[in-house]
Chains A and B, each alone.
Chain A
Amino acid sequence: MAAERLADELSRGLDAPICLTWELTYGCNLSCVHCLSSSGLRDPEELTTSEALGFVDGLAAMQVFYVNIGGGEPTLRPDFCEIVEYAVSRKVGVKFSTNGTTMTPGRARRFAEMGYLDIQISLDGASPSSNDPVRGAGTFAAALRAMERLAEAGFASFKVSVVVTRHNAGELAQMLALAGRFGAELRLTRLRPSGRGAASWHELRPTAEQLAGVHAFLVAHPQVLTGDSFFHLGPLGEQPLAGLNLCGAGRVVCLVDPIGDVYACPFVMHPEFRAGSIRQAGGFAAVWRESELFTGLRKPSPAGACNACGSFGACHGGCMAAKFFTGLPLDGPDPECVLGHGERALAHLGAGGSPARRLPVHGGPGHGKPGRPVPVAFGSLGASLTR
């Protein structure tokens, strides 16, 4: 199929990423229990304003069409608007994620006037009772206030971004309706066991039955964005979910953290997946094109333990980050493998089958945050991606 051939081509890597995730700061005024970057305090080594603008220049030169800015809470950086406006002026489009707490009416109007700008409001439940235990007291109300202000300012079609958990998996239809009330799109992403999510993952992750419900919901609502995060659920259906359904790490996406370190995957800020720094000679372009890690990821990888399973073509072994942070081998099944291979592998680990490894090594200003690759609809010669 054309789609698969495209995935093969992309898995060999591109001269520049399709988009990248840029965590602007580790500073955050919230302390969500599943935060992938364990954010809280700013890191004193974070990029300066001029370094940030220089990085944007590099992206413009590489024709990276847009960046996904996150954190931390990126809007807490005093130079946030300056960086966003500069990027947009260089035709590097921006989508940023925010918890909405800083969205004043004035800021909403300012954002509404900028071209090439998208906003994602993070919200993890259709009511305070499902959202606030995860994101903190008052965060549901704050997010809704921000949504109202964006809608009042005439900001067209922002996104409501939801990490699917055991507590909100039954509320997807309500979340879709809630987004619709503000003219917004719904975006669902997968809970990853990274950062603080490593500790909360077992408790928050959806049950197998809920994951089947998520899959059915996505099939029934193809307009819902996912950042391609549910490709591990592929074997649940006869047709693949909309999207490229491939792990884009180091091939079409990557992550730049607040201090300029470049990681293969937006969900794995860990030394094993650090390719270099934008502060080194050659900058980001050299890291993307020449780092040993990235060039290695672009070589074909064997299916490993999943080879014997007839569904490898549908899930490609699932998510590298989910495997890594649960201690599973990278060439084995995803911990949430819908055929149950992951559960068995986890049980084997628990029984001392191999050392549980690599839970995040950092507290405070920390590592590993959500990535937002791209949902897709395929045309004939071309696949189109919407962000």
Chain B
Amino acid sequence: MGCAASTETGFDPAHPYELHPDVALRNEPFGALAYHYGNRRLTFLRSPELVRLVGELGAHGSVTDSMAALGISEARQPSLVRALASLASSDVVRPRASAPAPAAGGQDGG
């Protein structure tokens, strides 16, 4: 039961990302459930901090900027980047063309 390696996915925190439009988030005490209506996969986001970050991705020009906007400490950033890389590999988040999205969030529910 190996852990996903971020290097395999080509995930780059200097690039802009967004929540995949086919994904809905449902908040839970441990973070959130993410359901991908396209590939029918359910993914657990296992920290509220990660959920906030995913919600903020669309509003910034890079993942790093999103983390800065949320005031996430440098010590915490590597584990969040690994988590995002894993979410990217399962298509929960995806790369976005560089212009910031009009507004963060916008998923049904949450």
Contact = CB atoms under 8 A, between A and B. Distances in A.
A6 interface: yes
Main secondary structure of the interface of A (DSSP, over half): loop
A300 interface: no
Interface in B28-74: 28-30, 33-35, 37, 39-47, 50
Identify the interface centre among B41, B44, B47: most chain A CB within 10 Å of its CB. B44
Main secondary structure of the interface of B (DSSP, over half): mixed
Nearest to B3: A380
A240 B1 contact: yes
Interface stretch (A14-22, A143-151, A269-277): A14-22
B90 A115 contact: no
Given A91-B37, A382-B83, A65 B42 contact: yes
Contacts of B43: 379, 382-385
A381 B1 contact: no
Contacts of A115: 37
Instruction: Give the interface size class of chain A.
Output: 20 to 34
Nearest to B80: A381
Contact of B24 (A14, A91, A239): A91
A155 to B, nearest CB: 14
Given A15-B28, A239-B1, A374-B42, A381 B37 contact: no
Contact of A16 (B26, B44, B92): B26
B72 to A, nearest CB: 14
Interface string A356-387: 00000000000000000010001111111111
A120 to B, nearest CB: 13
Interface string A74-93: 00000000000000000101
B1 A382 contact: no
Contacts of B37: 65, 91, 93, 115-116
Contacts of A91: 24, 37, 108
B45 A382 contact: yes
Contact of B40 (A3, A6, A15, A387): A387
A380 B82 contact: yes
A65 B44 contact: no
B40 A381 contact: no
A381 B24 contact: no
A226 to B, nearest CB: 15
A18 B24 CA distance: 13
Interface in A14-53: 14-16, 18
B99 interface: no
A6 B44 contact: yes
A152 interface: no
A9 B30 CA distance: 7
A73 interface: no
Contact of A63 (B24, B29, B45, B46): B24
A118 interface: yes
A53 B79 CA distance: 43
B95 to A, nearest CB: 18
A384 B33 CA distance: 10
Nearest to B40: A387
Given A379-B86, A381-B82, A118 B40 contact: yes
Given A18-B33, A384-B42, A379 B90 contact: yes
B109 interface: yes
A63 B86 contact: no
Nearest to A381: B83
B103 interface: no
A88 B109 CA distance: 16
Nearest to B85: A380
B82 A3 contact: no
A1 B90 CA distance: 21
B19 interface: no
A3 B42 contact: no
Contacts of A15: 28-29
9 contacts: A3-B1, A65-B33, A66-B35, A381-B79, A381-B87, A382-B90, A382-B92, A384-B43, A384-B44
Given A18-B42, A63-B26, A239-B1, 17 more contacts: A3-B1, A6-B44, A9-B46, A65-B35, A91-B108, A115-B37, A240-B1, A379-B86, A380-B3, A380-B4, A381-B82, A381-B86, A382-B83, A382-B86, A382-B90, A384-B90, A385-B42
Interface of B: 1, 3-4, 24, 26, 28-30, 33-35, 37, 39-47, 50, 79, 82-83, 86-87, 89-90, 92, 108-109
